Chains A and B, each alone.
Chain A
Amino acid sequence: GAGVSQSPSNKVTEKGKDVELRCDPISGHTALYWYRQSLGQGLEFLIYFQGNSAPDKSGLPSDRFSAERTGGSVSTLTIQRTQQEDSAVYLCASSLLAPPLAEQYFGPGTRLTVT
């Protein structure tokens, strides 16, 4: 079946603009993570959704970052007033159950460049 998809694959934006990044998880997966990978860094946890529970937003780096997951499926990560340090690859992963009970499947990522 289809894997995790993310759009757009690449996004170039000017400093100060808002951006929306989209993640389509695998159908039926209840858990969804957003991560950020900056150049030369490991993946940085941003936010976690599990079913209908309130999301764990403890990894969001500032209040410019927000995410939602509509209907327990598609998720959107929004970055307001983008800064150059927001440039990174944003990865989404979904799993059937909460990790580590089930494997996380990663999407291809969205490469964000803030000029």
Chain B
Amino acid sequence: AQSVSQHNHHVILSEAASLELGCNYSYGGTVNLFWYVQYPGQHLQLLLKYFSGDPLVKGIKGFEAEFIKSKFSFNLRKPSVQWSDTAEYFCAVKPHNNNDMRFGAGTRLTVKP
């Protein structure tokens, strides 16, 4: 069965540090990939998505993610985090041929001011 792995459960960084959150999935077919963010007390919202084309995807708030097909990875990056980036981040994968959208367990990011 397909699965999504987020290896870091909790990441703590200081402001201005660089961020990379790992996401790996197990599915052999064509997929669409997503990163969602949940700020404290708010709903899940879309950060960015990979649909097709350029594997380097830019999203809101300076985030980007790179799809590496050979590694089944879609890591999220930001060169310089801010205190306001403190949130929980979820990676999600949707196979092209069905509706089953799979989410990772999430990574909690704490940015210290």
Contact = CB atoms under 8 A, between A and B. Distances in A.
Contact of A100 (B45, B94, B104): B94
B32 interface: yes
Interface size class of B (residues with CB under 8 A): 20 to 34
B43 A33 contact: no
A98 B94 CA distance: 11
A42 B102 contact: yes
Contact of B90 (A40, A43, A44): A43
Contacts, number: 56
Contacts of A50: 99
B70 interface: no
A40 B101 contact: no
Interface string B8-49: 000000000000000000000000101010000001111001
Given A56-B98, A56-B99, A100-B34, A3 B43 contact: yes
Nearest to A58: B100
Contacts of B100: 45, 56, 58-59
Contacts of A4: 43
Contact of B44 (A45, A59, A91): A91
A4 B49 CA distance: 21
Contacts of A104: 46
A21 B32 CA distance: 29
Contacts of A35: 101, 103
Interface of A: 3-4, 33, 35, 40-45, 48, 50, 56, 58-59, 91, 93, 98-100, 103-108
